[in-house]
Structure 1
Amino acid sequence: MIETLHGLVLERVRHNDKSDIVSLYTRERGRVPFVVQGGQSRGARMRRAMLMPLSVVEVTMRSRPSQELQRFSSLSVVRQFPSIYGDPVKSAVAIFLREFLSRLLREYPADDMLWEYIVRSLAVLDASEGHSTANFHIIFLANLTGPLGIRPDIERSRSSLPPYFDLRAAAFCLHAPLHHDVLRGEEARIVHLLSRLDFRNGGRLRLNRTARQRLLEGLLRFYSLHFSGLDSMRSPEILQSLFD
């Protein structure tokens, strides 16, 4: 059966001397791995340019359910985000997003709301400037909780903010839980603020490097409690030296 899929390029790894494996998170089928001819031919170089990380592509394929690796019948670019490749700060954020999404979406099914959020967010990053770029990954992670169904419960804390945020329960609480997966004080307050921010008003979030790093660590701890494979990420280290 011939299928047309719309995919976000997550990663490309060497398969053998003649081919690579490209993983797409597709709107229609979730994650799908493809085997793509490598080498230095003109066609191979064009495919590499079209399959830049975090590009949005359209592919047609003859579905072979018995095979783990699929093959393109055709490939075209729907959208690329030029500034995330050329701007060093945006490139660092993009490296983080690529690693995070590659791990998060390894087994995740197709989801229209999730797909739309990711692609729309990449367009925002491509157009961002200054302080909005510095906080982009924080706001991205905070708002991604909605499409993933793990958004923190803030309804009970509208009148007064409890001092603790339980990462396991995804909820604020008056008393410290009997485990260590908790944010408190200023970090809990920022999580509450993040629940009310998006890319339009995210410039209001003022963080220094230390606060931003601690908040990122807390958000990644939160995600790792809900999804496997997010431990020992390497790309957050790249972000540590950015954004005074």
Structure 2
Amino acid sequence: MLVKTRGIVLSFIKFKESSIIVRIYTEELGLQSYIVNSVRKKGSASRIALFQPFTLLDMVVYPSSKGGLTRISEYKCSHPFATVPYDIRKSSILLFLSEIVARTVREEEENRPLFEFLHHSILLFDQKQSGFENFHLVFLLQLAAYLGFGVSSAEEVITQVAFEAGGAGTSGNNLMQLQQLEPYLTELLQRMDDAHLPNGRVRRELLHLLVRYFQLHVDQLGEIKSLPVLSEVLSD
């Protein structure tokens, strides 16, 4: 029986000559993997564009057994991006966040609150013309809550990163460096989108702090490949 659902593209890999295997977080079925044929053929550029990270889709799909590959019967973009493709800062943020979600969201079952959070956040980000400097930081804090390790205080994050990251952060100097971020993380937790952070350096250090916090709580999260690119783009 076919299932009609909304979906959020997370990633894809090439498959055979012209096909892909795409991972999509769906509203009705959770995380699913689909084979999509003939999207990498010459002249199919517009079709492969529909499977870029965080593209929002309306789909009709074939259900699968747990962890099995299946196929999409129909698909179309539900909300074409208006700003993201034309702003290197926005596209870099979106690429980073899609990698984080792809590595942390693994459930193959319906989770409507999480889906609605992701869907709403992507739409809101695309609509923002300015004032999105802290968006990725706020997104990480909110996502952590949906994943079950929400942040209650800045001190909690700093303590865990300093003393539980496999011994790598146990030096006194490292703890002092992290503690310098505590007022900024507190500001972020209290005011979220309205938080005032002084510069790109502070944002970059908070970003690395939160990524390390995720690495403590998500098994085999590993290296986030898009992190250096985002750090460079947002360095000012």
2:13/2:20 contact within 8 Å kept = yes
Indicate the structure with greater helix content. 2
Distance 1:114 1:32 in 2: 15
2:27/2:110 contact within 8 Å kept = yes
| Cα shift at 1:25 | 0.6
Task: Evaluate the alpha carbon distance shift between residue 108 and residue 219 of structure 1 in structure 2; reply closer, same or farther with a 3 A threshold.
Answer: farther
Task: Evaluate the alpha carbon distance shift between residue 164 and residue 100 of structure 1 in structure 2; reply closer, same or farther with a 3 A threshold.
Answer: closer
| Other-structure match for 1:51 | 51
1:208-223 maps to which residues of 2 (within 5 A)?
A: 208-223=199-214
Distance 1:66 1:133 in 2: 38
1:232-243 maps to which residues of 2 (within 5 A)?
A: 232-243=223-234
| Other-structure match for 1:231 | 222
**SS of equivalent residue, structure 1 residue 70:** strand
Distance 1:163 1:125 in 2: 28
| Other-structure match for 1:166 | 159
1:69-148 maps to which residues of 2 (within 5 A)?
A: 69-107=69-107, 109-130=109-130, 132-148=131-147
| Other-structure match for 2:22 | 22
Distance 2:215 2:156 in 1: 22
**SS of equivalent residue, structure 2 residue 185:** helix
Identity %: 24
| Other-structure match for 1:40 | 41
Deviations 1:185-241 (A, max 9, x none): 331222222222333x2xx32232222121111101111111123221111101222
Task: Evaluate the alpha carbon distance shift between residue 114 and residue 64 of structure 1 in structure 2; reply closer, same or farther with a 3 A threshold.
Answer: closer
| Cα shift at 1:128 | 2.2
Structure 1 length as normaliser, TM-score? 0.80
Deviations 1:21-41 (A, max 9, x none): 111011122110100012426
1:185 aligns with 2:179: yes
Task: Evaluate the alpha carbon distance shift between residue 66 and residue 96 of structure 1 in structure 2; reply closer, same or farther with a 3 A threshold.
Answer: closer
Task: Evaluate the alpha carbon distance shift between residue 230 and residue 67 of structure 1 in structure 2; reply closer, same or farther with a 3 A threshold.
Answer: closer
Distance 1:228 1:108 in 2: 17
**SS of equivalent residue, structure 2 residue 233:** coil
Distance 1:47 1:83 in 2: 20
Runs ≥4 in structure 1, deviation > 6 angstroms?
A: 161-164
CA RMSD of aligned residues (A): 2.7
Task: Evaluate the alpha carbon distance shift between residue 190 and residue 15 of structure 1 in structure 2; reply closer, same or farther with a 3 A threshold.
Answer: same
Distance 1:239 1:52 in 2: 17
Distance 1:40 1:227 in 2: 37
Deviations 1:167-200 (A, max 9, x none): 37xxxxxxx868637684331222222222333x
Distance 1:226 1:67 in 2: 23
Distance 1:66 1:194 in 2: 39
Alignment: residue pair count: 226
Deviations 1:5-62 (A, max 9, x none): 21101112101113111110111221101000124266x4443233332111121123
